[in-house]
């Protein structure tokens, strides 16, 4: 070790000793006895325990196991020895966590924990196993509500705190079953609020935390120092698949909405729709519009006759806030709208293209379902055999997670096999034409497919690009 290195080490050691002595002198005389445990209230009491918070919240945290049968194809090489790649059935399992939010067995978890499940088993903190059914599944919010039947027994519950007073720096605990090792508690702080772009839902404004969240924690609660649920743990950013201190939770406001709907007997949640396609502002855009900050989103498109259009929102307007809450980006706007109820009124602060700022009252409504879906699964000797298609409307687009402004026409919603699978069609593809006949509706498509022919020319749009595939049957 060089002399300068030794000097630094000595200085550091001396500094630590001085700080330790100072801390010992400055500790308040009324600190609890060492064996007394309570939630830390300030920096001076950080040496105390989170045990009271855990004792309150943990009994209501459950493990969620789901199973589904999936069909896979044998690897082509092994297929030469095993029947040429005959499809094989296998059982796929998913492990997650959840929170009991009602004493009669209503449980909140993630959609991706139970997606496609044919069997769901819930294990409560006392290690009892319960069969569960899905009351409401909300893929857009990545939330699901389950129900177990405890009979007359009242199960322990966790309260949902949707007051919205969560602040960056608040202490939080993440409770769940990471990697299936058993119930685990990790602590951290709220690192950031209103994070968007984390998932494909488009309207979720996440709570970011550095509390360790790992596979298996999904669906478990993020709790505050009162032991209340302030978020549902749902995602991590990681290069290894394990916690790297960047985890995300769905805010309790959205969770409360889903639980309330499920408890009221709703099986499919319908959210309000503004009828606006918004776009984040860049510095150049803000300067061009005469804005001094990047707050707000640009109304890039407005649906004719939609709620926003009727209230006076026009293309090129900048939406600054909704109900007094500042809007930072499109995901933030969509989240605030998603937490409201159809039929209500939202107050939009809008900067018009003229520079004038106005407050517009928007009567929220569900997305229109025109034209009707007319959903069908195609059969027969044609290249779309095995494809399920429907007419695209704003309501259908919202349910499928598609852009309502992406265009009208016939969209593929599922592929169940047949010629369509061999052709490589995918959900989200638009069928624009068959044998030079334009296709605008499912009825148009069925008429075109009804023409007997052995050669087909299909015009397909995918991701904004259009191709024509020629098929000989």
**Residues labelled as active-site residues:** 112, 142, 218
Give every CB contact of residue 332 below 8 A, 6+ residues apart in sequence. Answer: 194, 196, 205, 297
Residue 7's φ and ψ, nearest 5 degrees, are: -65, -45
Q: Residue 319's closest CA among 305, 336, 306?
A: 336
Q: How many CB atoms lie within 10 A of CB 171?
A: 18
Instruction: Looking at 328-423, list the stretches that DSSP marks H as alpha helix, in order from N- to C-terminal side.
Output: 330-338, 394-400, 418-423
Residue 173's φ and ψ, nearest 5 degrees, are: -125, 140
The C-alpha torsion from 8 through 14 and 18 to 20, rounded to 10°, is 90
Residue 200's φ and ψ, nearest 5 degrees, are: -95, 5
The half-sphere exposure of 245 on its side-chain side, counting CA atoms within 13 A, is 2
Structural tokens at position 443: 């009825």
- Region label for 103, one of left (φ > 0), alpha (ψ between -120 and 50) or beta (otherwise): alpha
Q: What is the per-residue DSSP string for 265-322?
A: T-SS----B--EEEEEPPHHHHHHTT-SS--SEEEEEE-TTSHHHHHT--TT-EEEEE
Per the CB < 8 A criterion, the answer to whether 424 and 441 are in contact is no
Per the CB < 8 A criterion, the answer to whether 368 and 237 are in contact is no
């Amino acid at each position: 070790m060089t002399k300068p290195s030794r000097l630094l080490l000595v200085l550091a050691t001396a500094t630590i000793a001085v700080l330790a002595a100072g801390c010992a002198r400055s500790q308040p005389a009324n600190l609890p006895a060492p064996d007394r445990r309570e939630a830390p209230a300030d920096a001076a009491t950080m040496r105390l325990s989170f045990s009271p918070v855990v004792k309150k919240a943990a009994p209501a945290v459950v493990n969620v196991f789901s199973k589904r049968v999936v069909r896979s194809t044998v690897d082509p090489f092994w297929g030469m020895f095993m029947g040429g790649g005959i499809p094989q059935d296998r059982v796929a399992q998913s492990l997650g966590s959840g929170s009991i939010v009602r004493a009669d067995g209503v449980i909140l978890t993630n959609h991706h924990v139970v997606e496609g499940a044919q069997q769901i088993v819930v294990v409560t903190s006392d290690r009892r196993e319960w069969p569960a059914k899905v009351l409401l599944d909300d893929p857009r919010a990545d939330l699901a509500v389950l129900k177990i039947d405890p009979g007359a027994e009242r199960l322990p519950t966790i309260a949902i705190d949707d007051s919205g007073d969560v602040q960056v720096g608040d202490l939080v605990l993440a409770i769940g079953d990471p990697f299936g090792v058993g119930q685990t508690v990790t602590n951290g702080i709220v690192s950031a609020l209103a994070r968007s772009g984390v998932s494909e839902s488009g309207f979720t404004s996440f709570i970011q935390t550095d509390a360790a969240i790992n596979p298996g924690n999904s669906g478990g609660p993020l709790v505050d120092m009162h032991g209340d649920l302030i978020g549902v743990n749902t995602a991590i950013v990681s290069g290894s698949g394990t916690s790297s201190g960047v985890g995300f939770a769905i805010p309790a406001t959205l969770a409360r909405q889903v639980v309330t709907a499920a408890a009221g007997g709703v099986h499919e949640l319908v959210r309000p729709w503004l009828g606006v396609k918004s776009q984040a502002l860049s510095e150049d855009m803000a300067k061009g519009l005469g804005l001094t900050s990047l707050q707000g989103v640009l109304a890039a498109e407005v649906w004719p006759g939609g709620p926003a259009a009727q209230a006076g929102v026009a293309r090129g307007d900048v939406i600054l806030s909704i109900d007094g809450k500042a809007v930072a980006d499109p995901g933030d706007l969509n989240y605030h709208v998603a937490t409201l109820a159809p039929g209500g009124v939202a107050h939009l602060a809008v900067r018009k293209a003229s520079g004038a700022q106005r407050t517009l009252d928007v009567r929220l409504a569900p997305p229109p379902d025109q034209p009707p879906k007319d959903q069908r699964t195609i059969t027969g000797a044609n290249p779309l055999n095995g494809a399920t298609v429907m007419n695209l409307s704003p309501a259908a687009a919202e349910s499928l997670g598609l852009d309502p402004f992406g265009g009208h026409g016939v969209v593929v919603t599922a592929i169940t096999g047949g010629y369509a699978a061999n052709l490589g069609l995918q959900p989200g593809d638009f069928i624009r034409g068959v044998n030079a006949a334009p296709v605008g509706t499912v009825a148009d498509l069925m008429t075109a497919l009804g023409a007997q022919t052995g050669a087909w020319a299909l015009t397909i749009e995918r991701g904004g690009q259009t191709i024509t595939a020629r098929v000989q049957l």
